[in-house]
Each structure stands twice: as C-alpha cells, then as structure tokens.
Amino acid sequence: MQKGVLIGIFVICLVLTISFISAAENITSVDDNSEQAKVNKAYNWLEDKVEGNCGSLSIDQQIFSLLALSYNSNIKSECRGKLVQETNQQCWPKGSCNIKTTAQAILALNKAGDDTEKAEEWLLSQNKTPTDLIWYLEIDSNEATTCNIKSGAGQGYAINIDSEKKLSGNAGGCLTLEPHGYWLRVASSCYDKEFEISCDKGFLTTLLYSRQGSSTIYVSETVHEGSAGDTTKEKIESFCFKQGGNCNYEGSLWAANVLSYLGRDVSSFLPYLIAASEDTENKKYLPDSFLYSLTGQQEFYIKLLNKQKDKHWDESGEEFYDTPVAMLSLYGGEDSRITDAKNWLLDKQDKDGSWRANIRNTAFILAAVWPKVADTFDDGDPDDCISSNLYCVPQTECDEAQGNVLNAYECAGLKVCCDKQKTIDTCAVQGGAKCDSSTHKCSYGGSTVEASDITSGQICCVGGTCEEKEPEITATCTSDIGTCRITSCRDDEEEKSSYTCQYETDKCCAQKQEPPKNWLWIWIFLALIVLVIIGIIFRDKLREVWFKTKSRFGGKKGGVQPPRGMPPTLMPPGARLMPRRILPPGAVRPIMRPIPSRKPESEMEEVLKKLKAMGK
C-alpha cells in the first residue's frame, strides 16, 4: 500500500515538473518574440560583427557602428580610433573630403564624447551662394503709403503702395517691379547688398524666394515691422554646402542638421534646403525628415508621414536606409504610423537579428529607432532623456521654448534633450482654420502652423483659407503591380512601362515572371522516349511481328501482287531466281494450272484470331 502511494506521488510530481518546464518554454518563446528581445538580438549581432574588426570596416560602417554602439567601451575606443585615423582632424575621408561623410562622422564622434570643433569649422567654410534661387522683396502696409528704398551708400528710390497693396515707381537697378505689382525682384548681382526701407505709414518687410522653374513661392521666416518713419533692413543670406564647387543637396541636409544639433546657426541654409526639396532628383533623400528636424514645422512632419508606403519609407530603393532616415526626426512621436514603422522593421528582421546582414543599415536602424546609451544600458531603458521626464526635440524647438539643452542626457539621432517643451496654442487661438490635409491645402498667402488640437490628417491654416486640392494622379504601379524606383529596376525585376508612378522619371519595377511551360510537348517528348526504349528492348520480337504482318498484308498495302487466281511464289531458303527467258509468240503454249480451291471458313477464322492476338 505504501509502495503504491509513493509511486502515485512520484507520477504526480513528474507530471507537474513536465508542465512547469513546458510553461517555462512557452514563456521563453513569447519573450524571445518581444520587441526588446529582438532589439537585443540585433545589438548582439552587431557587436559580434564589429568588436575586434572595426579596422576592416568601411568608413560608413565605422561611423554608424560607433553611433549605435558607443555604450560599449571596447567598441567605442576601437571604432573611434579608426575613424580618427581616417581624417586630418577636419574632414572625412582623408584625401577626398566629403560633406555628407564629414557631417555623419562629426555626429558619431560628438556622441562618443570627442571634440569636433575643427571639423565643424571646416564644414561651415564649405559654403557658397546658390545661383538657382530667385529672390523678391515684399513691402506691405494696411494703408496707402510712400516708401524709400536705399542699398548701401547709393541714393534712395521712392516706391508707392496703394490701398490694394500694389507697388508702383522706380526702385533702381537692383530691384524691378514684378508684373502683378506686389513684389520687387532682386537682381542676382545685388544678392550681397543690404536694403534699407522706410515708409511714412506703418509697414512690414520680408524676403520671398523660389526655385528657378518652380511656381512655388516661399516666405522667409524673418519678418520686420516698422512704424511711420522707422527703417527696416533686409539682406539676402542664402547658402548651401558645396562639393566640387557645386551645391550638394544631400550633403547640405546632413551638414545643416548636424551643425544645428551642435548648436550652430544654420538659418541661412534653410532657403536652399526648402526650395530644392521639391526637385524630383532630391526627393530620394527624404528632405522632409531633415527639414522637420531643422524647423519643427508641422507641414514637413505631415509630408514625411504621407510618404510612408506599406508602413515604411523607400524613396531611394534602400528601404532599410530610408526608414531610419525618416525615424531620425520622428523618434518619440505618438503617431500610429511611427509604431507601424517599428513593427514593420521587426517583422523584416532576419533570424540572426540583423537586417539583410548589412552592418551599416543595422547600426543605423538601431541608432535611429532603438538607441542605447551607457548610463541606461544595464536596465534596458532605451532613452535616458525621456525616461527622466525631459524632452527630446529639435534644437530649434528647444530655442523657441526658451529651454536649456542638457548635454548630460542622450536622445536619438539629431534631437537634443531639453528641459522645456514648446507651448503650442490651438488653431483657433492662432486665428487659423483646420483643413483636411488629404483633400485641402492652405490657400495662397496663408501658412501652415503647428497647433495643439491638430490631429493626424489635419493642418492649421493661418492667414488663408482651406482650398480644395486638385486631384492627384495615383501611383498605380505600387498598388497594382510593383514598386516605383528612382534609377533602375533590380536584377530580379522587369520594368513595366504601361504603369505610372507618382514622379515621371521613376520606373515601375515588377518581379520577373517565369514564362508558362507547355507541358503537352514535354509529355509527347517523354512518350516518344519511352517508345524508343521499348523498341530497343523488344526489337527482335517487333521485327518478327513486322515481317509476319508484312508478309500477310503486303498485297493490301500496295506491294507487288501476284496475278489473280495464282498464289504467291514461295522460294525455299538458298534458292536463286533464274533469269526470265523471252520466247517468240506462239512457240510455247502456256500451261494452264488448276486454280486452288479456297480454304475452309473454319481455317480462315483461325488465322484471323491469330492475327488479332498478335495485334494485342
């Protein structure tokens, strides 16, 4: 009895143990699929690839690895040292300085605690004035007035403003009146001059600009107000970062953002960056992400989110590079599309934790979306600034909030940790109107501003009205058959010229389809092969059947037939045909032979049965 009880207890304990082990395995399995587990797996993969090998990596891989893994002291020391060797302390790579690479290296080294002042100064020195921007001077007044415009030490010119705000008069060689009469166009030879404006009534002055060949007019963020008799000053200060003597747009985006992150004034680069963002060839760089970081303007935020395709970004054909570029400025946001992008990246993650085993892209994704810093690595908290109830915002937004940048706290990408959050009024308080961004736009003369009560899919239009958008041509390629690519299709794709993309120069690329196979001919060919093999194996029997059939049915197949009523001549084996003798007519009378009688019906039926059997 006691033995049976002990056995029962043992069985129960065994079952419970197995159940606990199974439950633990299930929990582990769930934990392995959690977001944090997948992120940790990616970091482990990257550390394995980088630690001890930083010297063999490309400069791009070194930069982004340092940006993502600066919390690891060994990798930080190794990659920092290798990156410093690639420069003369001013620009990267050594011997062929590149604007974009230099800006990215400055960002990585600064986050690693290095002094990058010399490199920053070199970057700022690589500026030039863009030649493809058109500038205008606007003078506005609520009542008719007369103004005087003077440039430098030259004489002044009188300009009249009527009650409808139209201008008239001669403003000299540097300024010409536009046909519509509301602005003065600045001659390109006078871009370096400062204009002084005074009026006898209250007035406003500002600068406008546009890209050559574009109908879009941009308003400068700086507006000067003057009372009667006051003087305002306007001077064009517009630059880009040059590469090889020409403006380099992608390099300018990175350089301006990195320098702004480091507290440098880059406002003079904004006109070029904003105006050139509409160029087709520049859309692949996702300028809206950089412009949102630089300006904090809601319109760039909305445009960036609207460029999301299937929960990620892919403007250049590199989805695992473009997505972290977008997330650089979106980090910390609450829009559902940001969460969608993070989930999409986790769904596309390889089993080893990387993204297509690409060191640069894997490091960039981690640095932009799931950053880790040394102070918080042990407890798994991804962001020291946010966890401390502070604010990760663009440098300009912290300045607008009159806050302090706290360098002791870390933020992802190009954002700084600020102790204050910008206060945003409602759209109504700012005198604006809410518009549905998918169907309407802010009319000419108005501007889109941030508002605390604006939700996703809305804009706040101040100084204008909600104007219905013209219908846009949908990019049928993406939704119907393939993917729009900027340059060319991949090796496993083919171009579909009958499908359109959003941008005319893009190509619609679809997965190559295998041509349909004609299985009928394959089966016929296989059947012939089988028949040939059977013929070779049974060739002797088939030969015998063939000769028997031929001998029995030869007369019916068109062969030589014996005279009617005479049987075929049968020659014994080895017999020889004698040559036929020709006799004169009447010499010999032919011998008449009796016609053989027909075989009985029973014998004929037996022959037919044998033939049928042979046919089977």
Q: Over the stretch 394-437, which tens digit does the pLDDT of each residue have? A: 877 888 888 888 877 878 778 888 888 877 788 888 888 888 88
Check residue 332 and give its pLDDT. 75
H, E, C per residue of 555-602:
HHHCCCCCCCCCCCCCCCCCCCCCCCCCCCCCCCCCCCCCCCCCCCHH
Whole-angstrom distance, CA of residue 437 vs CA of residue 460:
9
| Phi/psi at 260 (5° precision) | -65, -40
Whole-angstrom distance, CA of residue 267 vs CA of residue 273:
10
Whole-angstrom distance, CA of residue 139 vs CA of residue 135:
13
Compute the residue count for the chain.
Answer: 616
Q: Over the stretch 39-64, which tens digit does the pLDDT of each residue have? A: 999 999 999 999 999 999 999 999 99
Check residue 193 and give its pLDDT. 92
| Mean pLDDT, the chain cut into blocks of 10 residues (616 residues total) | 50 50 46 86 97 95 96 93 88 93 96 92 95 94 94 86 93 91 93 94 95 88 92 95 96 97 93 94 96 88 90 95 95 84 96 96 96 55 69 81 84 82 82 85 73 79 81 58 71 77 69 66 79 78 70 51 44 42 42 45 59 58
Strand order across the beta sheet in which 194-199 lies: 167-169, 157-161, 145-151, 194-199, 231-235
Q: What's the Cα-to-Cα distance from 321 to each of 63, 207, 330, rounded to whole Å?
A: 14, 36, 15
Q: What are the structural domain ranges in the chain?
A: 38-116+261-418, 133-237, 432-468, 476-511
